[in-house]
Structures are given as structure tokens and as C-alpha cells.
Structure 1
């Protein structure tokens, strides 16, 4: 039987049963609407959100009760188990093997350039910057170490 305004029953018990059924159906539809809204939020976050976010903000609430109860008990923090895996190496270039032949090229300043432009005093050698470049000659590999000498004025 289809429900509309024009053919409502006159019996109050039937009307109450109808209202109860409609309220139950309304609750089911509201629950389904919330579920679909949550799904749309998740899909939008997946599509347009930051890629680094691995934990949903809703999942953080799962652990709130555990964290609050742990704080009240003042229990000591669990020790971190030692892992057998070595720590990961950072990104970027890795050092070239020490077993490769090396040819050192030193770039040094001329006599004039080793003088301070302000006080004309001779600059002191303070170190060098060494960069390595892999060179390939057919049937052999070797490393060219390029060392740039660094100087500084002792007066400041």
C-alpha cells in the first residue's frame, strides 16, 4: 500500500505503526547518508589530499582511549626492541669504492690570488673541498679526485 496524504488510515494504532516504520526507515537512510558522505570525503582526500598522510584523522580517535588510560596509570614506556635491520642509508649519491684507482687533480690559486684583497697579507691554507667523479676508459674505471684548495685571511 502506497502512503500519501489522501489515503491515511483513521485508526490511531495503524498510524502509530506507520510512524514507527517511517522513523526506522529515516534512521536507516540517515545512517546510509553519513556512510556515503564519509566515503566521498575519503575518496576526495585520496584523490586531492597530501600524499604523505598515511593515517586518517578518524583513525587517530581509535587510540585516544588507550593513550589517555596509559597516561593515568603512569606506566613506564615500553622499551624499543632492537631490530636486526641496519639503519637505512640516506638518499643521494653513494661514495665510490676505495678499491678503484684514483688520480688526484689539485686546483690551487696563483701567487697573486693567495693575497688578501684588503690587507695584501698572504692567505692561510684552511682546508680543501674534494669531489669525486667517476671516469670511464674502455676496459677500466678510475676515480678523479678534484681538490679545490681553500684559503682565508688571518686578520679576519
Structure 2
């Protein structure tokens, strides 16, 4: 079984973003560890905070990292960016499989995970073998988009997660 870390960049804990990302992890066969970035508080604004360092370490030990965010102004949240800034460029997520995941109010921003979040994960060293997943926040639980994504991309994600170097 692969391990997964769900990094939730929604300012509101226990959000739809978290629920949808946990559904994605479960569909991949993983029981994820969830990092609610909002709960890390002001330690995200500097370097050396113990709670932030523990969260970074948890993410770095996972096979799959699901970076989850609501869509704000056509991109991921600043809160998620603050957390991702804690990782070293090119090596911080080395060997991890990164999945950019975003929820949004409408289809206009469907490419946001691919265009805004995926490049950051790759810059941090993550392997990104699949298209980012975007779901409508009002329909993610029952619109079939997760099933469609899993059917198309789960084999590549799971293959990359099991053969990568750690």
C-alpha cells in the first residue's frame, strides 16, 4: 500500500477541499495523513518552527503528496504557498509523487492545477506523472469526475509511487 500526505491549503479547517482530497487519496488506495496548513499558524511566516518542520517531515516521508487548494483568484491559496516555501527547491519533494488538486466554483479555472500548482511541485522535485485534478466544489462528491480521473491516471500515479527512489 502506498502512503499519502494530503496537504490542505484551505484557510478553513475541515473544508470541502479536505474532504475532496481525502476522497482522492482513498480512491488511490491510501489512508492519508492530513496536514491542515491553516492549523500551523504564524510558524509558516518564518523558518525553524517545530510544528512546521514536523509537517514538512511527514510530507517528505509520503509516497504520494496531494497538494489541495480551493481556487482563489485563478490559482492556489497563499496559505499553501507559504507551506510549500518551507521545502528546498529541487530536493524538498524529491522522489515523491505530486498531485496538484484544486476545487473551484466553475469550469473557468479547470486548468489552474496544471498551470499554477503543478509547476511548483515539480520545482520542488516531485514527480508529476498525471494531469492535475480540478473539481467543482458544489458537485465533487457525485459528479463522477474523480472516477474518471482515477480510471485514467491512477495506474501512472501508483506505478511512479512504487518505483521511485526514496
Larger Rg: 1
Same fold (TM over 0.5): no
With the length of structure 2 as denominator, give the TM-score of the two structures.
Answer: 0.17
Question: Which one scores higher on RCO, CA 8 angstroms, separation ≥ 6?
Answer: 2
More strand per residue:
1
More helix per residue:
2
With the length of structure 1 as denominator, give the TM-score of the two structures.
Answer: 0.17
